[in-house]
Amino acid sequence: MAGTTHIEDQSLSGSAISPSRMTVLAAVLLEMFQAATCLPDPSSIIVFGVINGRAHDHVSMQFAPAQPSERAVVEWAQRFGGTITGHVETADDGGRELWVKTKFSLGVLDAEAYAHIPLPADAEAIVHADYPHEPGRRYGCPACEARCYCTPGDAECVYDGPHDAPPF
């Protein structure tokens, strides 16, 4: 992300105090969401600061368990330069779920966005290779080769059909 977060607080007496770790992480999150105004909102967010004396500095964003969330995770990956992975898991109820995730860095904060999407029993899942990569850029990835991931002004994706803006 462009820019630097600088936070200075004033105590009641007027002297400068340094911000807490969570204050800095919250400021970075604010910058992230300001840069993501055109992206779908996650349904929940967890921020990990210091746990058992160890700094984690991590945010985890979960998207709804619905098919549009796959596209949402891809959009977050494209916006913040993340890599994407995906695979199918057996859900607690015995059904199948598509697990899709992206990871990216926001300077002092590592971020991930993910969704666990239930699949219909008769659906054939086309998932991203379970190897970190940019959406639409990995040859041999079934999902990257299944449709166009081109964005205006970007390099052409690996899809073997007509290339234009993706049909979302």
Q: Report d(CA 79, CA 81) in Å as an integer.
A: 6
Region of poorest pLDDT, from 10-14, 19-23, 46-50, 86-90? 10-14
Per residue in 152-161, pLDDT (tens digit) is 566 677 777 7
Asked whether residue 151 is domain-assigned, the answer is no
Residue 112: predicted pLDDT = 96
User: What pLDDT is attached to residue 152?
Assistant: 59
In a domain, 76, yes or no: yes
Please report whether residue 26 resides in a domain.
yes
Looking at the structure of the chain, the number of domains it has is 1
Interatomic CA distance for residues 19 and 6, integer angstroms: 10
In a domain, residue 91? The reply is yes
Q: Percent helix, strand and coil across the chain, each rounded to 5?
A: 20, 30, 50
Q: How far apart are CA 87 and CA 131, in angstroms?
A: 10
58 belongs to a structural domain: yes
In a domain, 63, yes or no: yes
Tell me the one-letter amino acid at 137: R
Percent of the chain with pLDDT over 70: 79
User: Is residue 105, in this structure, part of any structural domain at all?
Assistant: yes
Q: What is the pLDDT of residues 114-149, one digit of tens each?
A: 999 988 776 666 777 777 777 777 888 877 777 777
Q: Show the domain range for 107.
A: 17-123
Is pLDDT of 13 > 60? no
Residue 159 covered by a domain: no
